[in-house]
Amino acid sequence: MPSRRSRRPNVALRVLTVLIVLLIGIWLGGHPSWLPAPLRNAFVDKGDNPLVNQVVDLLQRDYYRPINGNQLVNKGLAGMVASLDDPYSHYYDPSAYQGFLNQSNPHLSGVGIDVIGEPRGLRVEDVFPGSPAAAAGLAKGDVIIAVGGTSLASRPATFGSRLIKGRAGTHVTLTIMRGSQKRVVKLVRANLVVPEANGTIVNYHGIKLGSLALYGFTDGSGAELRAEVEKVLHAGARGLILDLRENPGGLLNEAVNVASIFIPDGTIVSTDGRAQPRQVYVAKGGAIPTSIPMVVLVDRGTASAAEIVTGALQDRGRAKVIGTRTYGKGVFQEIEPLPNGGALDFTVGEYFTPSGHNLGGGGVREGAGIRPNIYAAATPGATHDTALAVAERTVAAEVR
């Protein structure tokens, strides 16, 4: 057994060795060019690009007029992502990312309308129940031609939308065209919760059907739709119509939640990416009885998570698909917040329906999408929704 005294030289030698290694490491950290290439690549931080920093410094110092370094970096990052030639990948600077978060938040301040741009201004596509717009009598098809004294003619839709939105409790004046009649309404903005799902009872030749509309796949939309499904079933619906027309998609996990309302078990969708292993998402349980027939309404605007749900219902034989072919997006994205307050929204993988089908055209290219079991197209501007009529007739025929 060695004595305690005999151990002291060994301890001192180890401490000295550690100090020497530490000093060498500090020195090499300041002189990375002395490292062999493999070690330099492994240990030197590539995030601090000296070439980029040099260009930014030169422009800030010597360009003929003052420039903002942050703007240079933001535009450079946007250009870098744009060079991927991927329509689904974007760089959001801090201001744009905040706007994106506000759009994704169902709690908004405004008057409670959904609009799209047209040459005269903004055409109202939907009016939310209980909103200031509903109380003022605004209706689908109305055209907002001015906000206050500002004309919206030939303006981008975002321009008018920004003027209409505002802090709860403040006033906004809208000039509305309904047919050839013009009127001016003054509204008080309010805090609103924008609904993502809606369910109503339709009576088709004495058969009660539940007509369900889902507008997007934001956080909690699956639970919203489930509540609407339960509401129409409690009201006596014997068949269901799930309307996913013009639904641009959203969160992958909400697509799984929505499909799980109707599919009791098994695969909903699978994903595969270069940096992440293949993953299979299965139904979460708690589905309504499969004896309740249903159909899905789709069109060219049905995309992404909405296509995932449609593909799962079609592949698993749970529902007939009615309408026109869907958008044809076969990839999904993730959002990575950045230290500057911005974010990178970029494509990280592809998804596949239960039968193994990818709906895209290979990578980020648009594909064939989902082809309906029954083709039915709504006529633009028509007072009668022909595609919905086909859906009602089809599901009513399956009611037992």
Q: List, by residue number, the catalytic residues.
A: 304, 315, 329
Tokens 């990578």 -> residue: 363
Question: How many whole angstroms separate alpha carbon 107 and alpha carbon 219?
Answer: 12
Cα radius of gyration (the chain)? 29
- Under 8 Å between Cβ of 176 and 184: yes
Q: Other C-beta atoms within 10 Å of 390: how many?
A: 20
- Under 8 Å between Cβ of 122 and 157: yes
- Under 8 Å between Cβ of 212 and 229: yes
- Under 8 Å between Cβ of 265 and 283: yes
- Under 8 Å between Cβ of 305 and 256: no
Q: Could you write out the three-class secondary structure of the chain? A: CCCHHHHHHHHHHHHHHHHHHHHHHHHHHHCHHHCCHHHHHHHCCCCCCHHHHHHHHHHHHHCCCCCCHHHHHHHHHHHHHHCCCCCCCEEECHHHHHHHHHHHCCEEEECCEEEEEECCEEEEEEECCCCHHHHCCCCCCCEEEEECCEECCCCCHHHHHHHHCCCCCCEEEEEEEECCEEEEEEEECEEEECCCEEEEEEEECCEEEEEEEECCECCCHHHHHHHHHHHHHHCCCCEEEEECCCCCCECHHHHHHHHHHHCCCCEEEEEECCCCCCEEEECCCCCCCCCCCEEEEECCCCCCHHHHHHHHHHHCCCCEEEECCCCCCCEEEEEEECCCCCEEEEEEEEEECCCCCCCCCCCCCCCCCCCCCEECCCCCCCCCCHHHHHHHHHHHCCCC
Question: How many whole angstroms separate alpha carbon 41 and alpha carbon 90?
Answer: 28
